[in-house]
Structure 1
């Protein structure tokens, strides 16, 4: 007989994924050991393998969950293009830049995700494309697929802008990069055909 029910196991897994997602974004994937990740979740190392096959399995789960959260965030903004504009402004804000553990997994982890195994890359790809497709559906409701590559390119530019802003020691320049990034993203959004 199991000590804990299925609900408890699912809640424990969710807690591990959530705390690991924040830690990965703050310290990086390579900078976050299993012992630290489990301690963050209030668990022992031994409990890890009851929930995940490997650290890579946890990375895939955490990044997918983070991107699901981004989709929920997008659902909470205004409908249509106005909501996309709001999302761009919030994404390229000093608050987002200064709080990576609360923000986008792409901006915090893209370089490390590129070095992950194929299953993790596949989980990331599926999750990020779902987010991109949600944005594309707002911009081109009759044919979201027609806007997918354009939206993905705009997102890539936003991710890079945020990363560069985080890396600069000159705070004024870092803020200016964010402001220009907003203008660039909005101009690029204006060029996306509405179909």
Structure 2
């Protein structure tokens, strides 16, 4: 049976969505093609009609996840208050406790670092869109001037979230999140004043 272009696009989209959640939950290496395709309600053979390799799926999924993250930032105000809301939401207990629904960087950064150059380039391009979107809220007339600070704050936030997720002591994990919020806002505040 031949399917139309729309069906193929919808199927590919479903695979990418399933892969995004599964990769963030179990890691890239912990998510085999058979499991991903089963989650998508498809057979293993159908995978190669949509992707040349698992690495192709990983690169596509990383781009999609970062695009979704960037899009979700539109829920926050276009100013300094919006950036504060973003920081507090990112470093929240809810985000920490739901990695499959959260930031691809916090869930996958160590594995992306071991991926092929094409995936690293896809990640870099997508991550810079996220960074520039935040920088534009801090310095609307010259967002590039805030890029270095926002990159540092983003790294702080990702590391804070990863550390909080790794700690068995919930009180300590919560304290790490709160301190991360304070540090991120302090760095962003100094950028806004310069």
TM-score range with shorter-chain normalisation? over 0.9
Q: Distance in 2 between matches of 1:63 and 1:119?
A: 11
Q: Distance in 2 between matches of 1:177 and 1:19?
A: 30
Return structure 1 stretches of 4+ with deviation > 2 angstroms: none
Partner of 2:16: 17
Partner of 1:69: 68
Partner of 2:122: 123
Q: Distance in 2 between matches of 1:191 and 1:18?
A: 38
Shift in Å, 1:72: 1.1
After TM superposition, the score normalised by the length of structure 2 is 0.97
CA contact (8 A) 1:140 1:194 kept: no
Unaligned runs of 5+ in 1: none
Q: Distance in 2 between matches of 1:86 and 1:44?
A: 42
Q: Distance in 2 between matches of 1:37 and 1:26?
A: 12
Q: Distance in 1 between matches of 2:186 and 2:34?
A: 45
Partner of 2:183: 184
Partner of 1:94: 93
- List per-residue Cα deviations over 1:21-52 (Å, max 9, x = no partner): 00000000000000001111111000101111
Shift in Å, 1:127: 0.3
Shift in Å, 1:70: 0.9
Shift in Å, 1:194: 6.3
Shift in Å, 1:77: 1.2
**Does residue 58 of the first structure (1) align with residue 86 of the second (2)?**
no
Shift in Å, 1:122: 0.2
Shift in Å, 1:15: 0.6
Q: Distance in 2 between matches of 1:115 and 1:75?
A: 31
Where in structure 2 are the equivalents of 1:1-195 lying within 5 Å? Answer: 3-193=2-192
Shift in Å, 1:134: 0.5
Corresponding residue SS for 1:58: helix
Q: Distance in 2 between matches of 1:41 and 1:188?
A: 42
Corresponding residue SS for 1:31: coil
Q: Distance in 2 between matches of 1:174 and 1:52?
A: 39
Unaligned runs of 5+ in 2: none
Corresponding residue SS for 1:52: coil
**How many residues are treated as equivalent by the alignment?**
194
